[in-house]
């Protein structure tokens, strides 16, 4: 997720990049990972284990939701957040999220051959889809991710709509970076950010992998906002 950005961001910040629990990665859930799982308690454990009292968070896609949720649940532990390829879950946008996922990821995700994975990556991306499709390491990783994706496990990460009051709490502390070519932007994500008056910047011809497609621009935005 941060292969193009970690070195540059590491010059300004101490960077930690935990897996999303339940998704493809090296983190192994224990018996507490089940229905009723609370992302805030999990992130408490992560920060406590790392000895971190207060942090800034940058998240991509679902990581952007997690950043917002944790800011609401633990405002004393979060300075600022940057949400990339993510919108604010306001009202009906959240109820449409599964339908949106199906529109974006299928049929390619159901048949994760390398050819179909390349097609999905081009669908998700803007002009610079080659950042994914021409990088063998990323292409291999993304193919493995698609083959190993466990939708039931990820289902324990509940996405709920935020109230207007919660959105007001988030607004002063958050920056949203979204590509105009991101299918999630076109399917309502951009409109939600504009309607809610969030601090958002939109990038022409960039897609869902915005920090891969525009690494230098996104690194500058993160550094300027969190620095």
* Residues spanned by the domain of 168: 16-214
- Calpha distance 38→31 (Å, rounded): 13
For 182-227, what is each residue's pLDDT tens digit?
999 999 999 999 999 999 999 999 999 999 999 999 999 999 999 9
In a domain, 117, yes or no: yes
Average pLDDT over residues 110-129: 93
Q: Tell if the pTM clears 0.85, that is, is over it.
A: yes
Counting the structural domains of the chain, the total is 1
For 91-114, what is each residue's pLDDT tens digit?
765 555 666 777 788 888 888 899
Q: Which of 115, 94, 48 is nearest to 187 (CA)?
A: 94
In a domain, 224, yes or no: no
In a domain, 220, yes or no: no
Residue 158 confidence class, pLDDT cut points 50, 70, 90? confident
In a domain, 58, yes or no: yes
Kindly state the greatest CA–CA separation across the chain.
46
In a domain, 219, yes or no: no
In a domain, 102, yes or no: yes
What's the CATH number where 73 sits?
3.40.50.1820
For 5-21, what is each residue's pLDDT tens digit?
999 999 999 999 998 88
């Amino acid at each position: 997720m941060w292969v193009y950005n970690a070195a540059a961001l590491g010059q300004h910040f101490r960077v930690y990049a935990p897996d999303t629990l339940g998704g493809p990665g090296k983190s192994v859930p224990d018996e507490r990972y089940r229905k009723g799982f609370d992302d805030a308690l999990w992130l408490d454990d992560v920060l406590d284990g790392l000895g971190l009292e207060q942090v800034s968070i940058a998240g991509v896609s679902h990581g952007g939701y997690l950043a917002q949720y944790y800011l609401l649940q633990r405002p004393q532990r979060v300075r600022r957040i940057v949400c990339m390829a993510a919108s604010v879950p306001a009202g009906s946008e959240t109820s449409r999220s599964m339908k949106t996922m199906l529109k974006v990821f299928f049929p390619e995700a159901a048949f994760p051959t390398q050819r179909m994975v390349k097609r999905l990556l081009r669908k998700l991306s803007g002009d610079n889809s080659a950042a994914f499709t021409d990088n063998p390491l990323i292409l291999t990783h993304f193919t493995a991710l698609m083959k190993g994706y466990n939708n039931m496990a990820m289902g324990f990460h509940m996405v709920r709509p935020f109230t207007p009051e919660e959105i007001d709490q988030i607004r002063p502390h958050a920056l949203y970076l979204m590509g105009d070519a991101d299918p999630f932007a076109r399917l309502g994500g951009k409109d939600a950010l504009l309607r809610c008056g969030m601090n958002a910047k939109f990038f022409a011809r960039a897609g869902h992998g915005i920090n891969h497609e525009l690494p230098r621009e996104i690194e500058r935005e993160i550094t300027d906002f969190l620095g």
